Amino acid sequence: MSSTIPFPSTSASAQPATALKPLVPVEGLHVVHLYYTVDHGLWQTLTTEEQQEAKTRLAKLVQTIRSHPRTQLLTFSVITPKADLGFMLMTPDLQDANLFEKQLTLGLGPDILEPVYSYYSMTELSEYSTSEEEYKKQLRAELQNQEEHGTEIVLSPNDLDGSDTFELRLNEWRERMKKYNQDRLYPNMADWPVLCFYPMSKRRSDGNNWYATEFEARRELMQGHARVGRQWHGKVRQLITGSTGLDLMEWGVTLLAHDTYHIKGIVYQMRFDEVSSKYAEFGDFYIGLQMPLDELLRRVQL
């Protein structure tokens, strides 16, 4: 189990949204994806003044949520009639997450926003990441086989561990892992326009039971899966959140991109990777377009 990653520092002091005891996990954030349709018939029964008051009320709510410590709220229009609009909420306190979710649902008034889909998960670290001891072992092997001026460096493991090169490479790895873990547990979500969300699980069928597969084999498969994902660096940003015991499936996957071409591309390419082709099961895919709230309300014809 990896060590706990601290929250990013913030100048604002956390104020609980309710009088109840905060429910902050040992590490990570609560993540709630919310999807709604708009009841336009009910909306049209409101006067112009009431409609404007409702939109102003929702705008203030979104601003309040976004100003809450360590909290992010993404707003987006949804492609296809699966939903009209959606929110992605990330916050450390489950009490806050629950309160904000209820407030958003009623943000335009009772029954104007009808929930059609939701998903609850948490940011988490991967159990398949390379440990420090594993990296040291790999580094020793690499340095022992390294050639310098055409001859192999012949050093004992003890000599390697104390060498400047070994310590430099090890410290560089530690810094990379620190950032990697921080980004997984406390990510800063980009404002890239295309947002894709889908849930997934690992299969338990007799022929392809992920949970009956040895850990080392699973880790090797996942590391290969990650190498495929890294080919899309700079084109797709990915956040994997855990939902085992929290929602219907085992993980939530949020992808951000500048173009649906890249969303389609990474998902297609990964389908051929063994982790997906043999062991993955997918839920529905939801595609949204991130935009400011005022533009979002215009987009959904409010």
CA torsion angle 105 106 109 113 (round to 10):
10
By annotation, the residues acting in catalysis are: 198
Instruction: List, in sequence order, every residue forming a beta bridge with 282; answer none if it has no partner.
Output: 200
Within 8 A by CB and 6+ apart from 68, the residues are 15, 17, 91, 96, 100
> Where do runs of H (alpha helix) occur along the chain?
40-43, 48-66, 94-105, 132-144, 157-161, 164-185, 215-230, 260-271, 274-279, 293-299
Q: What is the DSSP letter of 209?
A: B
Amino acid, single-letter form, for residue 120:
Y
- Closest Cα partner for 26 from 51, 8, 46, 3? 3
Q: How far apart are CA 287 and CA 186, in angstroms?
A: 23
